[in-house]
Structure 1
């Protein structure tokens, strides 16, 4: 429970070289902007298959002495352009590792001729440099696109052996606490999608799924801060879409992976992926298994203040979690003809494990003095399973791109937790003070989700497109909580602490998008309507909460090309975040005798209006400025109860949150073998509510998040990668979170024509990661600190077999995505 609160190399003078390279690029840029000439040289670079080659290194040389005048990278379409050239003779140099160097020119800029259009320049593979090894063009680690940021982790050495959750921790602008709650640009409320499908899970269950998804199965991660009306309106800070690797052509292929890791305990993972495609049929499937034993420690130092006296608590909790996870997927697409396709996909996962928790609580009337103590051993077992079935159909109505698709989903999740709490009391001398207090609880749960959706696309000429769709979902959850005390050598029911909670929810939605492209401007207008019906029933407490509401969610996107290398964009959207099913559940969940959390069945949904202004230069330097206003903010509130002398956490609605953020992303090609990706997000969150603990409350703080990744290409088949991040001190709700930082390192090498890949990585090399939280409320005197098994060394081996060019299975976006984000799962 409290974990959710607490979490929140290249050698040889690499730093000097990086600074020198950045200064050189900056000097070149300033020189280009201040030049008085009006000459121009442009071209488009193609690869050996005549496809556009983005991010190739292009240099403009002085023909006389071959000195560098300017440098640039090709754009997404392979194009480049040198403008503002003074009179003189120039040569163009194009270089990419694994390809023959191209020299074009000389070109004389004079009064007679000032503009040279070189057309298409095709690169050829350098067989002498390759020495029999095929070079595969790789995208940069971080790519900025009009409506999203793409992290291409497919070939990252650091990604190997890590889970999807651990990779997200290193994504620009993303923060993940130890419970797996994800924030984007300082805001919580992110919708996580897999291959375009929302996961329909609660924060805890989603964290479990992401921990079970192996990094070597991921192709890329998309960060979408302002989604269109086509997406579910859930997610006030946007969408993170994790795209899994796909295949390309006809035939059969697959991959087999195995990995091992060690921190304080051993870890292991393995997986098998298979794909077979014929002209009419595509069959695919995968299975992944992970075993992870990990350690964490939580210290809580707090003071219980009352008018009469003060009581000092010093709680030390050490926990070892032994977790086993398996994920599996199977499906088929049948191509009825060139226009009609029907498919079926089944996803499932199992998670089970055991937690061993030892707690020592020292109690006294002043700091450093112990009047009594509580020693507890709190073991727990859990098991969660989830299954999702998707049936889909798609028809391409005509050659203009008119399409219609239907998806029907059914998901079922079950879970159970059994926790024991064995508390023994001692006096200051260490002698037994009173009889031990033993209690236990069991919490079986079941969630069923049914959903269906239909989408229609209609191109109106070449410059306009209309999209529309319908969706309906039905969710039923049943959570039971059984509390027992050990009395008279027998377990006795405690009806006052037991409860059963039922929750039913129905959401009906419709949307429409209109996209129009003008000469230099693209505009998209969207509107989504969602009608919600919900009923929460706490049977034991006889509390029923019903809600019925209809909301409209407009969205606007405008992108304008100011010049060939300059573009600006504006976006606006309104979104909603409904409480997840676990947060609505009023059950009490114990960490130990004095620490617990509980749900709030009266939570209201929160609404967010988001605005974003963006600027891009050559699709490399990107700057975004964002503002959002959220009402009824759902946030964790950590408080002490002076009557019972306990500390607890619960979700509450604060009145408003105003969030401002500035994001700067700047990839730098330092040399032909050294690329650098850098991202800075600065944000300010301000929370207000008229009544918290009987008084108005307001908190806010400027914070920033810095991510940098350096990739060094040692050879065509080997590379080194290191990344670092720093998260400054920040405020969220009533919590003041201390800075967090760390450095990761990875090395990758491939053999056998890239069929065999070996990757070695180290997370948190210098063992810097830890968390500390205090309260922004003057009446709350506590410090919650956590350390965990952050430094882990991993080795991963992947072998690819069969055809190297299998056509991809279709990516489906099912109909029950948003609902699964809110289901509880294993840890």
Structure 2
């Protein structure tokens, strides 16, 4: 660990020295103005700064309300300015910035109207629901009618190629192990706590969801299946802007939601505040059918019916300020948090039989009143400096997050002989508080060597500490006493130090990116109750390569490779038993090792929209759940173990189809083949399964300013470890109506119309044959109203009419 920190210190010194030397180079300022033939200033004109030799784009800006524009920190040399605006003729202006000149004023540009434009030009601000941007799939949630009133977890379940299994594990293209980020910040939470966070996030506050299959070395190396980045809404218009949303819904029970997004932007300051509230009362019916064999070979038949009702009120907020005191320096301060509750009433009826047709040998009636509360507060501060050499920048980010969870159970258990003879009744109480403190700091530097080559480097350190105090009591002896077999405590600390370097250049006609990331991991945990301690320390290097080539205008292809790691979640290492009922529990595994994965992908893009990706990955020490039986051969427990190998082959096809100008379809087909190899209970398992996910999203423009949306999702039967899931899917529809001069909108949506999004799965190996059926409340009708505050209408339409140019110059 000390060696890694020494390397990071040296790298930090090298970066700081380079930053200081680059900062000393001279630069100048280019400024000018744009107007029409009547002398009126033109706002939102795209002004691009290009190299004169080959017209390579350097950077770009948009004119302000007075038609003014400027480029800061430009190195001396010759350039070409290109001015474009919808409805006007394109104009190019050659300029030369002399060495030593601080300001170059471009003669006022006058754009002429394009005679080929007939009538009024209407530019729509709407982005497509699904975009393919290189190796990144973007889901524009803010444009989705069906998303209104839902949660982040529900959005992910409908994202192309993404699924969430019964253990809250998120998969992409059939692979588990996804690094979930919010606004570019890793969450660092275990799957159960992460699922809790995502279910509490109001979808009304989410702008986009990005799915990155093969991220660069700048990202953490964790994530076998890549990165999912959830980006929250942030307004980019000047002045005071925002939106207010209120809605209600109903499935079997009522739901409600509301959110407010406010933003105030000036030339140097930007302040924003987002708040969201959701209330969700829902149900789930869960059935279990299990056959086990005793040591003498006699079967035991176990059935359970569980009825669950939950109430989930949730408050989330985010606020911050960004200050750009000059053209080169800016600082951002952001804080966010949430407070959530989950009240659960569980009622289960369990029977144990020696033969299916016989009367039950034992019957258990269990009720559990559970209360789960959690809150978190996160703060971050970031500094950014732009150098005089265009494309060079230096950033520092420091983040802190605190999560607190408190779980309380009150189990009431009745045991009957046969069906009506009470044998025993008792209570089990639990008090399970836990907390996470997460500290991260990172420093990144991008240096542009020339117009085709840039070098990126950075360092990062993360520190995670979690404390758990688990106390169970029961009254089986007639009075409540501490249950020493279930009570425990566990303190865990994890430190990860990382450094990376990435070279981007042009090589043999390919846009080439070569990166190398090194990570040193040290974690240790200790349980005072069991006097058990764990400690590991390991160093790994993670290379990645990306090659992309434009064979001709409408055809691009590329290849990427990355080596990645998935560390065990903190609670997967805890040496305690998570109690569900007398016959089902989950254990931690302190011996669990990280998994390592090699990812390969070949991609093709045809006509800029039709994308085909072919990929392969192989993992060692693959982490997956297994179910094992206790000594009584009736009770079971789930535990994560390391499989020997896991292989994944996948093919993804993304094809937007325009039926006509009123009807478009975004079709995404994800086909994959998973193969597992492991040894369990003296048996060798080599299991393969072909599966896939199909997502079709249709957007239909209707009369009377109505817009319709239909999203259909189908998940084919799949295999995850030794668990085999059955097919499931959903059909979701939405209708939107613009009101109040298009400042407001009404959104009506219905999710899972045919109630087919039901999770059923099973596991079978010698001595155990189990099947589980989970029927949650997924069919819900919601009505939401949104009203936009501030600048909208024509100004916003013109602003977004330059979306393509803004994307190319990096303004979006």
Aligned to 1:714: 702
SS in structure 2 of the partner of residue 168 of structure 1: helix
Query: SS where residue 169 of structure 1 aligns?
Result: helix
Question: Partners in 2 of 1:321 and 1:124 — Cα distance?
Answer: 58
Tell me if structure 1 keeps the 8 A contact 2:415–2:424. yes
Task: Give the structure 1 partner of residue 806 of structure 2.
Answer: none
Matched ranges for 1:759-770 at <5 A: 759-770=747-758
The CA deviation at 1:338 is 1.5
SS in 1 for 2:163: strand
Matching residue of 1:338 = 327
Structure 1 position 387, deviation (Å): 1.1
Structure-1 residue corresponding to 2:473:
484
Deviation at 1:644, TM superposition (A): 5.1
**In 1, distance between residues paired with 2:566 and 2:419?**
52
1:23 corresponding residue in structure 2: none
> What is the CA distance between 1:296 and its match in structure 2?
0.6
Note if contact 1:378-1:592 (Cα within 8 Å) is conserved in structure 2: no
Question: SS state of the match for residue 366, structure 1?
Answer: coil
Task: Check the 8 A contact 1:50/1:122 in 2, yes or no.
Answer: no
In 2, distance between residues paired with 1:122 and 1:196? 45
Deviation per residue, 1:591-637 (Å, 9 max, x gap): 22211112112211111110000111012221111000111111111
Equivalent residue, structure 2, for 1:393 = 383
1:190-216 CA distances to partner (integer Å, 9 max, x unpaired)? 111122222222212222222222223
Once the two structures are superposed, residues 411-453 of structure 1 have per-residue CA deviations (whole angstroms, 9 ceiling, x without a partner) of 1111110112111112335131x12032122111111111110
1:367 equivalent in structure 2: 356
Match of 2:205 in 1: 217
Counterparts in 2 of 1:125 and 1:679: CA distance versus 1, 3 Å: farther
Q: CA deviation at 1:124?
A: 5.2
Does the CA-based 8 Å contact 2:205-2:274 persist in structure 1?
no
TM-score by length of 1: 0.81
**Cα RMSD for the two superposed structures:** 2.4
Contact 1:699 1:776 in 2 (8 A): no
Task: Give, in angstroms, the shift of residue 462 of structure 1.
Answer: 0.7
Query: Is 2:574 aligned against 1:585?
Result: yes
Q: Is the alpha carbon distance of 1:619 and 1:123 closer, same or farther for their aligned partners in structure 2, counting shifts above 3 Å?
A: farther
Unmatched segments (≥5 aa) in structure 2: 1-41, 48-59, 61-85, 88-112, 801-812
Q: Shift of residue 397 of structure 1?
A: 1.8
Deviations 1:511-552 (A, max 9, x none): 011101358420000000000111021221111111111100
In the alignment, the residues of structure 2 paired with residue 755 and residue 176 of structure 1 have an alpha-carbon distance, to the nearest angstrom, of 36
What is aligned with 2:277? 289
Partner SS for 2:193 = helix
Partner Cα separation in structure 1 for residue 260 and residue 509 of structure 2: 46
Number of positions where the alignment pairs a residue of Structure 1 with one of Structure 2: 692
Q: CA deviation at 1:373?
A: 0.7
SS at match of 2:142: coil
Deviation of 1:457 (Å):
0.6
Length-normalised TM-score, structure 2: 0.82
Are 1:241 and 2:229 matched, yes or no? yes
Q: 1:357 aligns with which of 346, 353, 363?
A: 346
2:398 maps to 408
Equivalence for 1:821: none
Name the structure 1 match of 2:765: 777
Deviations 1:237-281 (A, max 9, x none): 001112222212321122111111110110111111111122332
Q: Secondary structure at the match of 2:439?
A: strand
Moved more, 759-768 or 581-590: 581-590
Q: How does 1:53-452 map to 2 (within 5 A)?
A: 127=120, 136-178=124-166, 180-308=168-296, 309-369=298-358, 370-432=360-422, 434-452=423-441
Report if aligned partners of 1:485, 1:491 keep a CA contact under 8 Å in 2. Answer: yes
* 2:743 pairs with one of 734, 750, 755: 755
Of 453, 475, 495, the match for 2:484: 495
Task: Work out the CA distance in 2 between the residues paired with 1:754 and 1:214.
Answer: 23
Question: Secondary structure of 1:154's match?
Answer: helix
| Structure 1: distance between partners of 2:116 and 2:715 | 42
Deviations 1:75-108 (A, max 9, x none): xx9xxxxxxxxxxxxxxxxxxxxx99xxxxxxxx
Classify 1:179/1:274 alpha carbon distance in 2 versus 1 (closer, same or farther; 3 Å): farther
Indicate conservation of the 8 Å contact 1:192/1:198, yes or no.
Answer: yes
Distance 1:360 1:228 in 2: 51
Q: Contact 2:204–2:259 (CA<8 Å) still a contact in 1? A: no
Q: Counterparts of 1:489 and 1:641 in 2: how far apart (Å)?
A: 26
Q: CA deviation at 1:49?
A: 6.7
Which residue of the partner structure matches residue 805 of structure 2?
A: none
More contact order relative to length (CA 8 Å, sep ≥ 6): 1
Question: Where does residue 803 of structure 1 map in the other structure?
Answer: 791
Q: Does the 8 A contact of 1:48 with 1:124 survive in 2? A: no
Residue of 561, 564, 584 corresponding to 1:572: 561
| TM-aligned CA deviation for residue 554 of structure 1 | 0.3
* Deviation readout 1:743-770 (Å, 9 max, x if unpaired): 1001011112321111000000111121
Select the residue among 652, 656, 660 that pairs with 2:641: 652
Give a deviation string over 1:660-717, Cα, whole Å, max 9, x none.
111111111011111011111111111112x311222221111111111111111483
Q: Distance in 2 between matches of 1:777 and 1:125?
A: 71
User: Which residue number in structure 2 is paired with residue 517 of structure 1?
Assistant: 506
Please give the secondary structure, in 2, of the residue aligned with 1:443. Answer: strand
Distance 1:49 1:803, change over 3 A: closer
Answer whether contact 1:260 1:794 (CA < 8 A) is retained. yes
In structure 2, C-alpha distance between the alignment counterparts of 1:387 and 1:719, rounded to whole Å: 38
Residue 137 of structure 1 aligns to a residue whose secondary structure is coil
- Whole-Å Cα distance in 2 between the matches of residues 566 and 301 of structure 1? 53
Q: Matched residues in 1 for 2:668 and 2:45: separation?
A: 32
1:143, CA displacement in angstroms?
A: 1.5
CA distance in 1, matches of 2:731, 2:390: 50
Q: Is the 8 A contact 1:317 1:360 kept in 2?
A: yes
Q: 1:123 Cα deviation (Å)?
A: 8.2
SS at match of 2:475: strand
Q: Aligned-pair distance for 1:774?
A: 1.3
Is 1:664–2:689 an aligned residue pair? Answer: no
2:493 is aligned, of 489, 499, 504, to 504
For the structure 1 residues 193 and 427, does the alpha-carbon distance in structure 2 shift closer, same or farther, using more than 3 Å as the test?
A: same
Give the distance between the partners of 1:506 and 1:121, measured in 2 at CA.
60
- Residue 549 of structure 2 corresponds to residue 560 of structure 1: yes
The residue aligned with 1:468 is 457
Unmatched segments (≥5 aa) in structure 1? 1-46, 53-76, 78-98, 101-119, 809-827
